[in-house]
Amino acid sequence: MERPVAWTKVKNDEPINAFAEDYKAFLDRSKTERECVSTSVELAESAGFVNLKTVLRNGQKLKAGDRVYRNWMNKSFMAFIVGSRPIEEGMNILGAHIDSPRIDVKQNPLYEDAGLAYLDTHYYGGIKKYQWVAMPLALHGVVVRKDGTRIPVIVGEDAGDPVFCISDLLPHLSQEQMEKKAAKMIEGEALNLLIGGRPIAKEENDKDKKDKKPVTENIVALLRDRYGMEEEDFLSAELEIVPAGQARDLGFDRSMILGYGHDDRCCAYPSLRALTDFSGVPAYTLCCILTDKEEIGSVGATGMASHFFENVTAELIACLGKTDDLTLRRALLESRMLSSDVSAGFDPEYASAFEKKNAAYLGRGICFNKFTGSRGKSGSNDANAEYIALIRRIMDDAEVCFQTAELGRVDLGGGGTIAFLCSKYGMNVIDSGIPVLSMHAPWEVISKVDLYEGYRCYNAFLTGAEPLEN
């Protein structure tokens, strides 16, 4: 039962290429979860969405067709279009995460050794540490001073910017290193960012003063001059180290995109676009959730395991004139959701890691995973057959190219998404997403046609999903 190649059904490349260009621009502007939220707010407001906090502050009531969004701590984002049917009949929800594997700067990071200045780091999410050395890196994030002033930081992306790197050992001296297992070739504490090597210039009358950290002193002076920050301001900073450079077309045929953060922004962007591009009044309330912290278990106040989704939905319901808890419970219970996260694309160079009949292939459209988890489906949502049948009908009616897959062969693969956290409300949820090569590497690969079929899938789901009997 082999699924057709989506490219063979394409009659006009223009919509695919135009959407890919928009996506690449989004990817370049959104290398951190904060940047994703900022870009999402701009996109939502340009499509007529209003901040839900403003609605609540003004005591306004919402009606069918109204569009609202909620920025949650600048790390997660939700947007709604109110439907004509009672919200107790559930919502059609698109959910994705906007955090990606990276390297974070520690709170007390700055140090100097052998005339070189570094930032000490702690990696975030599942990475192969050896992939991050000897390549140009950029620094993104925010510094918040004690007075509350926010200082945005992006260094390494513009043509005139410096870049940074994590050094590696030369082959001539790496015999011992090469004997180690790949997981130990580069230790976590060795992922330190090289940021400078020039000592501060001294005045003539200061030459007799012995400064043991002249390069660090120079870095601190540069930071003070450019950003108005002191070394102690690192304590309240969130700085992320990501690959420097733009997303690019891949292949002579330009059929693919090489970029940082496809996992999971290649699902987040088409999900949000499907919502913001929707016109008119939907039958059921529509929702898009872009959440943080999925790569480390969806924990914390901005992860899906927190109550922000439930709380914001309660606020929305209050603006519809209902404040009882039962309405909220019914709305969540009756909802339908696509938990959109990437799938491992079949790579013929590593074929033994997959089971070919149940693998996701680049170029065959959006991928549905009945279950994720690992080793006996542990930690999985495992969607029911009735819901999958509904999804099949919606996709076929809209002529969306789709496929089904598992994440690697049994007892080898597995992974988690936000699906099981949303299914705790009793709603129907299934994992869906774009196949990716080199997942969690600094540079990942997707197919343009899969990206566009994902967008078409999300559009079809928003308008076609209906309640199922529980």
Q: Which of 58, 36, 460 is nearest to 274 (CA)?
A: 460
**Rounded Cα–Cα distance for residues 329 and 314 (Å):** 9
**Rounded Cα–Cα distance for residues 270 and 332 (Å):** 23
Residue 379 has a pLDDT of 67
Q: Which two tokens stand for residue 267?
A: 């699902």
What is the block-wise mean pLDDT of the chain (470 residues), using blocks of 10 residues?
86 96 97 97 98 96 97 97 97 96 97 96 96 97 94 95 96 93 93 96 63 89 93 96 98 98 96 97 98 93 94 96 93 95 94 90 94 68 90 96 84 74 91 95 98 97 87
Q: Which of 302, 303, 331 is nearest to 315 (CA)?
A: 331
Q: What is the DSSP string of 11-24?
A: S-SHHHHHHHHHHH
For residue 274, the SS3 value is helix
**Rounded Cα–Cα distance for residues 170 and 285 (Å):** 58
Buried b / exposed e along 85-116 (16+ C-beta atoms within 10 A): eebebbbbbbbbbbbbbbbbbeeebbebeeeb
Per CATH, the number for 102-243 is 2.30.250.10
Q: Determine the distance from the C-alpha atom of residue 360 to the mean position of all C-alpha atoms in its chain, rounded to a whole number.
A: 20
CATH class of the region 6-100+260-464: alpha beta
The continuous run of DSSP H or E covering 369 comes out as strand 366-369
Count CB-CB contacts under 10 A for residue 357.
9
Q: Which two tokens stand for residue 383?
A: 């969607």
Residue 260 has a pLDDT of 98
44 and 7 Cβ atoms separated by less than 8 Å = no
- Domain layout of the chain by residue ranges: 6-100+260-464, 102-243
Q: What digits encode the pLDDT tens for the residues 361-397?
A: 999 999 998 877 666 666 677 888 999 999 999 999 9
**Rounded Cα–Cα distance for residues 26 and 332 (Å):** 30
Residue 54 has a pLDDT of 96
**Rounded Cα–Cα distance for residues 45 and 145 (Å):** 29
Residue 4 has a pLDDT of 85
- Which residue type occupies 230? E
Question: What are the φ and ψ backbone dihedral angles of 254, each rounded to 5 degrees?
Answer: 55, 35
Q: Which two tokens stand for residue 401?
A: 């190219």
Give the chain's length. 470
Pairing, β 150-155 against β 193-196: unpaired
Residue 410 has a pLDDT of 74
Q: Which of 438, 441, 435 is nearest to 454 (CA)?
A: 435
Residue 256 has a pLDDT of 98
